[in-house]
Structure 1
Amino acid sequence: MGILAGLGSRLPSYGRSIPAWLSRRRRSGKAEGFWRPLAFFLGVVAIYAVTQTHYDYLAQYMFFTHRAQHLVLHHAAPFLIALAAPLPVLAAGVPNQMKGFPGRAIAVRILWPLYRLLQHPVVAPMLFVGLIYFWLIPEVHFDAMLSRQLYQVMNWSMMLDGLLFWWLMLDPRTPEQGGLGYGTRIVVLLAVVPPQIFLGAYLTFSKYELFDVYAVCGRAWPLAPLADQQLGGLITWIPATMMSVLGVLIVIRYLLGENRWQALSLQ
């Protein structure tokens, strides 16, 4: 628990402001429709559910619930938030004091090169898959599950990386508008599939208990260690890789939509 804790005091006023922003944009002819706001709120609620409820406790005492938590933080919730393309609405809600912050230009100049590096089509998939592998190194995983600070770093890094990766893949901008090329997106989405399949299969079919931290702390439910590990492996394997397939379908939808628009404009 902690990813959204720092925003706790601001969430009520922030939540009341969102409908007002959407209403103003609707009156100005920039209606967001129904599905995009729904996807955004589902993504935020999903992050809240796995980090700010009793589920976070279960994620620390069962391997498969931990893998399900990271499936939400790294895949499902960022996917929904990126699909909603909420930046225009979120930018409209930034307080005027922050828009005029004197150090804003300096912060942008410092952070922009880092952002571009993380969004490079070679770096992004390596980081996306690499973080999954890194936090599942048995020694690293052992330390992360026993250290409150490292546990928060692990969850934060998975969520932020997921947001960066899926925003790069599901960016509604066309290549002419600055978005990544559609072919490149499909290649990247397919490139992250085999490493996740391999890792998930390794966890599922391993005959040895790889993560003894759950034996040290005790499991929340009386589930056999290998059965717990196998369930976690299946979660790492099947739904995670299916997210890439879904991402490819959405990118193809973007491409077909752009081609249809270009065809209409030539008529």
Structure 2
Amino acid sequence: MSSWQSMLSVTMVDRNMAGPVWVPSEPPSLENFLAPTLQPIPLIPAIALVLAVLYLVGAARLWRARRRWPVWRTLCFFAGCAVTAVIMGAGIEGYGLRMFSVFMFQQLTLMMFVPALLVLGSPGTLLLRAAPHRGPGAVVLRLALWGLRSRWGRLAIHPAFLVPLFLVSFYGVYLSGLDDRLLPTWYGHIGLELLFLASGILFTIPLLSADPLPAKQTYGSRLADIVPEMPLHAFFGVIVMMAPLPVVEFFATPPGSWNLDPMADQVLAGSLAWSYGELPSVLILLFIMSQWHREDARNAGREEAEAAVRGTPDLDAYNAYLDQLQQRTEDR
């Protein structure tokens, strides 16, 4: 019997948690993290699967109609769904129920890594292009257009809403004691994971999305949003690593069969927030700067082409004015 099959046979119900959850009894290891062990109610993996299927249906509809849809965007969206399904559907989810470091890894992935892949897939544009204009598709289109035009859509991606939401997802959850009230139940645990994913998507949309948005940000404003956010992970990680007592009491009593030091695991969680949390932000920053440079180059090329065809009336008038001034000076 393989080790992951053995882990399946000894999976247990944790009495410290309320709800339909399975917690592995074997000590954590990479092989056990990746073991195909679904929770009794694999809600988030199911959502990821449904989104992947709907995206594929939309892309296939365009391809059958001989309409172009980038394969690289399809691969990005599928990768985001696949990563979500693995970190929420494999054995790692069972360990994340009682290990701070694993839960932190899941949170950072759901907030920073997965949203970037999903947003780069441009699902909004695909929806507008591929949804049928009759039947249920027409209802979906009307709802999508309403979201684009409503004040609620503007508010959802406004920095005044997103920055506090991002802060609450880290500092508010862990420093207010909310985590110890929610994590002992399946409903609270899955609710936090959905919060992390939703807040990450909302925060990433204004930065990376090529979809039509209620309000389009300039590249300068995108940098103004991402740069101040980057030190927040590092600062939070330092707080967690330096804490002399457990930051989350619920994680202080892992299953005895795991042979786990909760304080060492807390230090690992803090180091993940500091290091792994910064990597997606740096990549997003580089992507924004690259796109900004490409847009400036396109605009410059367009202006040069227009100048070659139409000339430069303003510049020519200014040069003529300077010539007149010089002529007057010489005449005197």
TM-score tier, shorter chain, comes to 0.7 to 0.9
Does residue 5 in structure 1 map to residue 46 in structure 2? yes
State the match for 1:257 in structure 2: 294
- State how 1:174-189 maps to structure 2 within 5 Å: 178-189=215-226
SS at match of 2:44: coil
Deviation of the 1:122 alpha carbon: 2.9
- Per the alignment, residue 95 of structure 2 pairs with 58
- Asked whether 1:23 is paired with 2:81, we answer no
Write the distance in 2 (CA, Å) between the matches of 1:102 and 1:118.
Answer: 19
TM-score by length of 1: 0.85
**Higher normalized contact order (CA 8 Å, seq sep 6+, divided by chain length):** 1
User: Aligned match of 1:142 in 180, 187, 190?
Assistant: 180
How far residue 106 of structure 1 moved from its aligned partner, in angstroms, is 11
Per-residue CA deviation, residues 85-109 of structure 1 (Å, 9 max, x unaligned), is: 2322234454543233399469937
- Structure 2 Cα separation of the partners of residues 159 and 266 of structure 1: 41
1:119 aligns with 2:144: no
Instruction: Tell whether the 8 Å contact from 1:21 to 1:92 is kept in structure 2 after alignment.
Output: no
2:195 matched residue in structure 1 = 157
User: Deviation string for 1:174-194 (max 9, x for gaps)?
Assistant: 99x952111111111011122
Shift of 1:45: 0.7
Inter-CA distance 109–44: structure 2 relative to 1 (3 Å threshold): closer
Task: Tell me by how many angstroms 1:129 deviates.
Answer: 2.6
Output the amino acid matched with 2:101. F
Q: How does 1:144-223 map onto structure 2 within 5 Å?
A: 144-172=182-210, 178-216=215-253, 218=255, 221-223=258-260
Larger-Rg structure: 2
Aligned-partner residue type, residue 122 of structure 1: A
Amino acid at match of 2:100: F
8 Å CA contact retained: 2:253, 2:262: no
Task: State how many pairs are aligned.
Answer: 262
Counterpart Cα distance in 1 of 2:140 and 2:286: 43
Paired with 1:77 and 1:150, the residues of 2 have a C-alpha distance of 21
Question: How far has the Cα of 1:216 moved from its partner?
Answer: 3.9
- How far residue 41 of structure 1 moved from its aligned partner, in angstroms, is 0.8
Aligned-residue sequence identity (percent) comes to: 22
Q: CA RMSD in A?
A: 3.1
Q: Normalised by the size of structure 2, how large is the TM-score?
A: 0.70
Q: Any conservation in 2 of the 1:209–1:229 contact (CA below 8 Å)?
A: yes
Taking a change above 3 Å as real, the CA distance of residues 264 and 219 of structure 1, as seen in their structure-2 partners, is: farther
Change (3 A) 1:24 1:35: same
Aligned pair partner of 2:127 in 82, 87, 90:
90
CA deviations 1:98-152 (Å, max 9, x no partner) are: 2333994699379932231121123222212321222223621112211222222
* Residue ranges of structure 1 left out of the alignment (5+ in a row): none
Note the residue ranges of structure 2 that are not aligned, 5 or more in a row: 1-41, 305-332
